[in-house]
Amino acid sequence: MRLSTSVSHKLRIASNKWFSLPRLGREVFSDLMKAKVKYDTKFGFKITSETDVPRAISVLSRALDQQVELQSSCFICNEILGENEKPGSIICAKCKDREDCYALYTMKFATLVENL
Ligand SMILES: [Zn+2]
């Protein structure tokens, strides 16, 4: 069964942020796990640096019958990266302008490694 017409809008998912999904069934869930999407019973799902993003996106688009797009967010402050940022950049303009940008970056990186 397909849902009709009004599914044309894109679903945008931010990386490194928890998001919830409707019940999608065990198969979809296991596909998401194979794509290394993080799952937590309390918070939901999360795209992390471990995630096989193209795979996760294709699983989600198929399951939701909707175009899904990954929205990247700033590595330092988690701000959603907008149109102003170059595609592929991982730090927002605000953070890039900060003098302590590099220090923040390494600090953030260190905490990520600690949490592995
Ligand atoms: Zn930032």
Domain ranges of the chain: 11-71
Q: Using CB atoms within 10 A of its CB, is residue 14 exposed (0-12), middle (13-18) or buried (19+)?
A: middle
Gap from CA of 92 to ligand 1 centroid (Å):
4
Gap from CA of 103 to ligand 1 centroid (Å):
13
Gap from CA of 30 to ligand 1 centroid (Å):
33
Gap from CA of 10 to ligand 1 centroid (Å):
24
| Residue 51 CB coordination number (10 Å) | 20
Q: Assign 3-state DSSP to the chain and report helix, strand, coil percentages, each to 5.
A: 35, 15, 50
Gap from CA of 68 to ligand 1 centroid (Å):
23
pLDDT per residue as tens, the chain (116 positions): 555 444 457 888 888 889 999 888 999 999 999 999 999 999 999 998 899 999 999 999 999 998 998 887 788 888 878 766 776 678 888 888 888 888 888 888 888 888 76
* Nearest alpha carbon to residue 57 among 70, 40, 46: 70
